[in-house]
Amino acid sequence: MPDGATRQSSAARALLPAGLKAAPVWLWRLVVLAALLLLWWAVAVFVGRNFVPTPQATALAALRLIENGTLPNATAQSLAVFFTGYGLAAAVAIPLGLLMGGFRPLGATLDVFVNALAATPRVAFIPLIIVFLGLGFEAKVTIIFLGAVMPILINTYTGVLSSDGELVEMARSTGAGDLAIFRKIMLPGSLRSIVAGLRLGAGIGLISTVVAELYTSVRGLGGLLATYGNTFQMDNYFVVVLAFAAIGALVTQGLRMAESRMDRWQYQEERAS
Amino acid sequence: MAYDARPEGPLGGARDVAPPALRVAGVSKTFRPRDGRDPFTALSDVSLDVSDNTFVSILGPSGCGKTTLLRMMNGLLAPDNGEVLLGGKPPRPGPDVGFVFQSFRLLPWRTIRGNVELGLEETGLSRAERRERALRYLALVGLSRFAESYPHELSGGMKQRVALARALAPEPSVLLMDEPFASLDAQTRELMQMELLRLWERRRGVVVFVTHSVDEAIVLSDRIVLMRSHPGRIAEVLDVDLPRPRWDTDVHTRREFVELRHYLWEQIKAMVLASAEPGLFGSGDAPG
Ligand SMILES: Nc1ncnc2c1ncn2[C@@H]1O[C@H](COP(=O)(O)OP(=O)(O)OP(=O)(O)O)[C@@H](O)[C@H]1O
Ligand SMILES: [Mg+2]
């Protein structure tokens, strides 16, 4: 999956008058942020009545929640379950996907089941998970794991499968064996696809975090969401929503940085395709 | 070519005639698509002996099985019938046979030096030796300055030189080249031909060079193998009687060159016309 945002923005810049071309991306991001804040404010004042708090009220609520420790604690709890579940998903999905792609009979055997599982709504498993694992940390981690594991697995698998047959033949002509070909050609060739899977998995993992915290013992940011939502503390509620958005942006940005490190050699591939 | 076709047995080495460095004997290959389409005979009964230190070119229309033949010469593909022998043994892909492909096939995630080193990683050389060897061959093809660049930073001609360095670096005794200069512009192409000749004069060995260019085949080779298609087979083998070295003089004006060129052109033209769709080249209207 190409790095859409940066490439689109460079395409967009090409259409703009020369004076605007020089503006860096972060400046445009600030402009959009300001526009969103304005929109939010307008909605809060003119439409929202008591349901949509103003940006100012939300900011005050945020300060309060940070000061009394509620937000940092909840964030820490949520991040702990998220990173545990997500880390486990990556630790299982990447090796398994590589094995499935590298060892065709295994891939051909398992991919039906993987696709079937990927198409099943993961909420369907939650009652079962609660029965077996209860409402605590393990249950939450399992829910996140189940959400994040599939996109990482499928992307890794297809990444290896779609490795360049011409490069494989070239490596074979140098005398490289199957293992060396896997290590030198297939693995680096599927790296980009793996990172794209990690990005997708992170998104689903974060959503699963909220789901887990709503359906099992009410804790973390998802727990706050439930508490504030049920008691109509909308300013606090918005703080939590924004915290989620910020975490999502940070995690995705981190993975995107990993991707752009690979850009040195990938830029040309994308232009060519 | 009066070799008797006695297969190499345990006593095979005891023959008084030195076996050819490369022997292709009665080779056929039919591709059978899995989905039930008709099988396609790419090569039919191809035989060819190449003695050591010989530069052979293969010339023939598109689809006549040149690449297929080359892939069998280093063991990437097994023949259905007949056998291919390299130094008396069935070929196995490895550092003793260099392969320059029709496309560059460079790893985009490795530097130029890393790409050349790939050809050396099955040779048993140490890391330091591989590095030194890669740099030496990059110097030979004039790319020292780009050792730490990545493939996308190079022009097409430079990439082809990297592919050439990668194939040469293991110092193979057989070099198989599949239309290596086809994608280059005319000037670069001629420079590369001279470069290749210079390298080859230094360190000979067998070169099998596939090309579509009659001129290129004559300038480079000791022998030219002319192939025809449907099914792919050898039409004729011609010797090139031009003096070597050829890289410091222009051979294009010599009488032997002109005559051979004319002859080959006539042959290929006849092949193309015979297989052309009606209407193409106006052959549909031709009487008879
Ligand atoms: N793996 C394959 N499966 C099926 N058919 C194949 C395969 N490889 C080659 N062929 C067929 O065999 C014939 C010869 O192919 P080959 O690539 O050897 O031709 P060529 O002489 O190298 O042509 P060109 O000059 O265009 O490169 C072609 O008709 C091609 O369609
Ligand atoms: Mg070919």
Boundaries of every domain in chain B = 50-77+91-96+174-272, 105-171
ipTM of predicted assembly, 2 dp: 0.84
For B176, the closest chain A residue by CA position comes to A173
Q: How far is the CA of B85 from the centre of ligand 2 (A)?
A: 21
Asked if the model's pLDDT at residue B10 lies above 60, the reply is no
Residue A142 sits at φ, ψ, to 5 deg, of -65, -40
CB spacing of A180 vs B119 below 8 angstroms: no
Q: Is A273 on the interface with B (CB under 8 A)?
A: no
Q: Do A43 and A63 belong to one domain?
A: no
Q: Do A122 and A216 belong to one domain?
A: yes
Whether the CB-CB separation of B99 and B167 falls below 8 Å is answered with yes
CB spacing of A176 vs B105 below 8 angstroms: no
CB spacing of B76 vs A176 below 8 angstroms: no
Residue B81 sits at φ, ψ, to 5 deg, of -130, 160
Residue (of A157, A166, A162, A180) closest to A101 by Cα position: A157
Q: Do A166 and A247 belong to one domain?
A: yes
Q: CA B179 to CA B64: how far, in whole Å?
A: 14
Q: Do A95 and A30 belong to one domain?
A: no
Q: What b/e sequence results for A105-125 when a residue is b if at least 16 CB atoms lie within 10 Å of its CB, and e otherwise?
A: eebeebbeebeeeeeeebeee
CB spacing of A175 vs B93 below 8 angstroms: yes
Q: What percent of chain A has pLDDT over 90?
A: 47
Does residue B42 have its Cβ closer than 6 Å to ligand 1? yes
Q: At what angle do helices A137-161 and A126-133 cross, to 10 degrees?
A: 130
Q: Is A79 on the interface with B (CB under 8 A)?
A: no
Asked if the model's pLDDT at residue B288 lies above 80, the reply is no
Residue (of B26, B36, B111, B124) closest to B72 by Cα position: B26
Query: What pLDDT score was predicted for residue A151?
Result: 93
Distances (CA, A) of B276 to B38, B61, B229, B282: 21, 11, 12, 10
Q: CA A271 to CA B38: how far, in whole Å?
A: 37
Q: Do A63 and A144 belong to one domain?
A: yes
Decide which of B137 and A265 is more confident. Answer: B137
Q: Is B74 on the interface with A (CB under 8 A)?
A: yes
Please state, as a whole number, how many other Cβ atoms lie within 10 Å of the Cβ of residue A272.
Answer: 8
Of B68, B177, B214, B234, the residue with max ligand 1 atoms within 8 A of its CB, to mutate for a pocket test, comes to B68
Q: Do A16 and A128 belong to one domain?
A: no
Of B37, B40, B58, B73, the residue with max ligand 1 atoms within 8 A of its CB, to mutate for a pocket test, comes to B40
Q: Do A64 and A35 belong to one domain?
A: no
Question: Considering chain B, what is the average pLDDT of its residues?
Answer: 86
Does residue B66 have its Cβ closer than 6 Å to ligand 1? yes
Q: How far is B20 from chain A (nearest CA, A)?
A: 22
* pLDDT grade for A126, boundaries at 50, 70 and 90: confident
**How many pairs of residues across A and B have Cβ atoms under 8 Å apart?**
62
Q: What pLDDT digit, counting tens, does each position of A219-228 carry?
A: 889 999 989 9
Whether the CB-CB separation of B223 and B58 falls below 8 Å is answered with no
Q: Could you tell me which CATH number the domain at B50-77+91-96+174-272 has?
A: 3.40.50.300
Asked if the model's pLDDT at residue B104 lies above 60, the reply is yes
CB spacing of B152 vs A265 below 8 angstroms: yes
Helices (H), chain B: 66-73, 112-118, 127-140, 156-168, 186-202, 214-220, 255-275
Q: Do A264 and A138 belong to one domain?
A: yes
Tell which A residues from 10 to 39 touch B, by Cβ distance under 8 Å: none
Q: Do A108 and A225 belong to one domain?
A: yes
Residues 6+ apart with CB under 8 A from B160: B104, B180, B181, B183, B184, B192
Residues in chain A within 8 Å Cβ distance of B101? 166, 169-170, 173
CATH code, domain carrying A154: 1.10.3720.10
Whether the CB-CB separation of A155 and A193 falls below 8 Å is answered with yes
Q: Is A180 on the interface with B (CB under 8 A)?
A: yes
Asked if the model's pLDDT at residue B30 lies above 80, the reply is yes
CB spacing of A176 vs B121 below 8 angstroms: yes
Most confident of A48-62, A76-90, A117-131, B269-283: A76-90
Q: How far is B109 from chain A (nearest CA, A)?
A: 5
Please state, as a whole number, how many other Cβ atoms lie within 10 Å of the Cβ of residue A99.
Answer: 15
Query: What pLDDT score was predicted for residue A264?
Result: 60
Q: Do A189 and A243 belong to one domain?
A: yes
Tell which B residues from 134 to 153 touch A, by Cβ distance under 8 Å: 150-152
CB spacing of B152 vs A269 below 8 angstroms: yes
Q: What percent of chain B has pLDDT over 90?
A: 57
Q: What pLDDT digit, counting tens, does each position of A78-113 carry?
A: 999 999 999 999 999 999 999 999 888 999 999 899
Question: Domain range holding A21?
Answer: 4-47
* pLDDT grade for A44, boundaries at 50, 70 and 90: confident
Q: Do A34 and A60 belong to one domain?
A: no
- Bond prior to B245 in cis (omega within 30° of 0): yes
Closest-lying ligand 1 atom to the alpha carbon of residue B227: 21
How many folded domains does chain A comprise?
2
Query: What pLDDT score was predicted for residue A18?
Result: 56
| The B206-211 sheet, strands edge to edge | B97-100, B174-178, B206-211, B55-59, B223-228, B233-239
Q: Which DSSP category does A185 fall into?
A: I
Residues with CB under 5 A from ligand 2 (ion): B 67
Residues 6+ apart with CB under 8 A from B228: B60, B61, B64, B235, B271
Query: What pLDDT score was predicted for residue A3?
Result: 42
Q: Which of A166, A171, A269 is nearest residue B108 as measured by Cβ atoms?
A: A269
Q: How far is the CA of A60 from the centre of ligand 1 (A)?
A: 72
Of B38, B59, B64, the residue with max ligand 1 atoms within 8 A of its CB, to mutate for a pocket test, comes to B64
Of B44, B57, B66, B234, the residue with max ligand 1 atoms within 8 A of its CB, to mutate for a pocket test, comes to B66
Mean pLDDT of A206-213: 91
Mean pLDDT of B1-8: 40
For ligand 1, atom 14: residue with the closest CA:
B65
Q: Which residue has the tokens 């259905």?
A: B80
Query: What pLDDT score was predicted for residue A90?
Result: 95
Of the candidate ranges A69-73, A184-188, B173-177, B250-254, the one whose mean pLDDT is the lowest: B250-254
Q: Which ligand is nearest to the CA of B76?
A: 1
Asked if the model's pLDDT at residue A154 lies above 80, the reply is yes
Q: How far is A110 from chain B (nearest CA, A)?
A: 23
Q: What pLDDT digit, counting tens, does each position of B127-161 carry?
A: 999 999 999 999 988 899 999 999 999 988 899 99
Q: What pLDDT digit, counting tens, does each position of B209-263 carry?
A: 999 999 999 999 999 999 998 889 999 999 998 888 887 778 888 888 999 999 9
Q: What pLDDT digit, counting tens, does each position of B54-101 carry?
A: 999 999 988 899 999 999 999 999 999 999 999 889 999 999 999 999
Residues 6+ apart with CB under 8 A from A64: none
* pLDDT grade for B204, boundaries at 50, 70 and 90: confident
Task: Name the percent of chain B in helix, strand, coil, to the closest 5.
Answer: 35, 20, 45
Asked if the model's pLDDT at residue A6 lies above 70, the reply is no
Asked if the model's pLDDT at residue A4 lies above 70, the reply is no
Mean pLDDT of B117-136: 93
Query: What pLDDT score was predicted for residue B12?
Result: 40
Q: Do A244 and A264 belong to one domain?
A: yes
Query: What pLDDT score was predicted for residue B13?
Result: 42
For B115, the closest chain A residue by CA position comes to A171
Q: CA B67 to CA B72: how far, in whole Å?
A: 9
Query: What pLDDT score was predicted for residue A8?
Result: 45
Q: What percent of chain B has pLDDT over 70?
A: 89
Decide which of B19 and B118 is more confident. Answer: B118
Query: What pLDDT score was predicted for residue B118?
Result: 95
* pLDDT grade for A2, boundaries at 50, 70 and 90: very low
Does residue B231 have its Cβ closer than 6 Å to ligand 1? no
